[in-house]
Amino acid sequence: MKKQDSIPRPEHPRPQFLRPEWINLNGTWSYAFDPGLSGGERGLHLATGFPQKITVPFCPESPLSGVRHVDFIPAIWYHRTIRIPAAWRGRRVLLHFGAVDYECEAYVDGAPAGRHIGGAASFSFDITGLVKPGGTHHLVVHAVDDTRSGSQMLGKQSQSYHSAGCMYTRTTGIWQTVWLEAVHPQGLKAVHVIPDACGGSFTFIPAYHEIMPGRQFRAVVHDHAHVVAEGRASAAQGAAVTVKIPNPKLWSPCTPFLYDIVFQVIDQRGRVIDEAASYAGMRTVDVAGNQVHLNGEPVYLRLVLDQGFYPDGIWTAPSDAALKGDIELAMRAGFNGARLHQKVFEERFHYWADRLGYLTWGESPSWGMKLPGGPAAYNFLNEWREIIQRDRNHPSLIAWTPFNETSGKHGGFDARLQCDAYHLTKALDPTRPVNDASGWSHTLTDLFTVHTYEQSPARLRKSLAKTADGGVWAWAPQPQVAYAGQPYIVDEFGGIKWIPRRHRAFSDRSWGYGNAPKSEQEFYARLEGLVDAILAHKHICGFCYTQLTDVEQEQNGIYNYNRTRKFDMKHIARIFRKTQPR
């Protein structure tokens, strides 16, 4: 077994639920493609190795995987051996996957360990009955990914061989960290944390692997090294604990203070039998009239569209530092947050957003589904539930967006599904506003968002003006509900194509919105004009600029795809930090 610091992405992938007994399984695995989907019939689940090598957690399409196969991959099989520490005897052994695109089955020594459907959500299999403490076992993972089926979410993965326009290289199979964890049989599965900044309290709602009478749940809240609150309750599924925080310190972009928390399960003798480290931020997000409020105060959203693609890792960041670095790039450019677009970002990204005070909107990779009808709706709702449950404890995440641009152009408009997604989101997390569908057709929404790539500042300013009867501009006024006074946000605009001279040799398939400026000074003038056009309207409470970086052939980022600088970033930041005129 390799040392943790000698393998790719060695950091713990779940910083809000961290136990000390875990083993990172990233690194060299063997693999085999299965173009005929016949691996099961050929007994590949019984394999003790495959001919070729791949570096996990990077997808086979990526350079970092060592494979770089960019054609369609209907299925892939992985193998590696795992050794279970003898000290894990009597523990529950969990096999965790950050994400596998799309349908995943795992086998231990040929025996089925579990099956999961969904390419963006995290999941776990309990393999306790299949392994022996002190033993070594064969782990085989099988992933099936039919990107042209219409039944699964793809996000911006191209359904054609080539990347084109705003569609990019696909991701198949394992693309986030795989790890083993030892847990007490009656240990915690998860804890839902609900902050109440107005009341100065946290509510903790635990879920357990197994319940046994006499157990207790305890939550201990720390301000650095000092215990500031503690709460206990009987260890029962869903039995909540609320603790009052004296003189609470609020989380905000200016002061992103985080409380450290320890969750424990205690037996009848008072012994701690399970413990997980976590953290939380004390803050509230509300819609008040036509404004988004953070901790009771209006916050103007200066967001950037972040698609989370990397030249060497595709959907997977090459390092933890790269995740943090993208946030720092955005903040240096004058943004206070990001709309995380058509991708579910790694938990480590949310960790850094929490630490740095960076506001985000969580979104599903909804493109690629054929709607209405078929299995796509069921697959979507199930995976969206898992996504919300994984990320709802992060204070930096302030809104949910189930869909992007719902209309006939991108997979059909299904009003019932949008309503179902809205209600499901509210049931799982009533603490945040829901933007049912970004930009186009709204059905039931807390935020009214629009997309416009008008490149003329004068025409943009005119189009966004309120009508005499109080109405607002919308790209797709039908079919959708009428504007009802919600916060009105231009959550996609700009997209100005600009290719620095040193990058033009590689721009034969480049793409962007409108006609590219003829000079860098013309770029600055157009950008400032578009931002001024939005800021001129008091009924607009935020914007989202497209986009943070170039992505493959789409060259309208404010940074290059390799994260190098395109512009004078002080000039860019001055533009995006402008405020509405009084």
What tens-digit pLDDT sequence spans the chain (582 residues)?
A: 345 558 999 999 999 999 999 999 999 999 999 999 999 999 999 999 999 999 999 999 999 999 999 999 999 999 999 999 999 999 999 999 999 999 999 999 999 999 999 999 999 999 999 999 999 999 999 999 999 999 999 999 999 999 999 999 999 999 999 999 999 999 999 999 999 999 999 999 999 999 999 999 999 999 999 999 999 999 999 999 999 999 999 999 999 999 999 999 999 999 999 999 999 999 999 999 999 999 999 999 999 999 999 999 999 999 999 999 999 999 999 999 999 999 999 999 999 999 999 999 999 999 999 877 679 999 999 999 999 999 999 999 999 999 999 864 444 457 889 999 999 999 999 999 999 999 888 999 999 999 999 999 999 999 999 988 888 998 776 667 889 999 999 999 999 999 987 776 555 678 888 889 999 999 999 999 999 999 999 999 999 999 999 999 999 999 999 999 999 999 999 999 999 988
Cα–Cα distance measured from residue 126 to residue 149, given in angstroms and rounded to the nearest whole number: 30
Q: How far is CA 492 from the centre of its chain?
A: 18
Per DSSP, 134 falls in state: T
The single-letter code of the amino acid at 344 is V
Q: H helices then E strands: how many in the chain?
A: 7, 31
Distance, in Å, from the CA atom of 284 to the CA atom of 362, rounded to the nearest integer, reads: 16
Strand locations in 224-314, DSSP E? 226-234, 241-244, 259-266, 272-280, 285-288, 291-294, 297-298, 301-306
Architecture per CATH, domain 188-280, reads as Sandwich (2.60)
Q: Taking the domains of the chain in order of start, what are their residue ranges?
A: 4-183, 188-280, 285-576
Residue with tokens 């359904």: 159
The Cα 219–Cα 241 span in angstroms is: 8
Write the single-letter amino acid at 15.
Answer: P
Level-2 CATH architecture, domain 4-183: Sandwich (2.60)
- Out of 3.30.420.40, 1.25.40.10, 3.40.50.300, 3.20.20.80, the CATH code matching 285-576 is 3.20.20.80
Q: How far is CA 520 from CA 34, 356, 458, 525, 566, in A?
A: 48, 31, 20, 9, 10
Quick check: 365 and 101 in contact, CB under 8 A? no
Smallest Cα–Cα separation from 124: which of 91, 100, 89, 90?
A: 100
Percent helix, strand and coil across the chain, each rounded to 5?
A: 20, 35, 50
- By the 10 Å C-beta count (0-12 exposed, 13-18 middle, 19+ buried), 279 is classed as buried
d(CA 442, CA 405): 9
Domains 4-183 and 285-576 equal at CATH topology level = no
SS3 458: helix
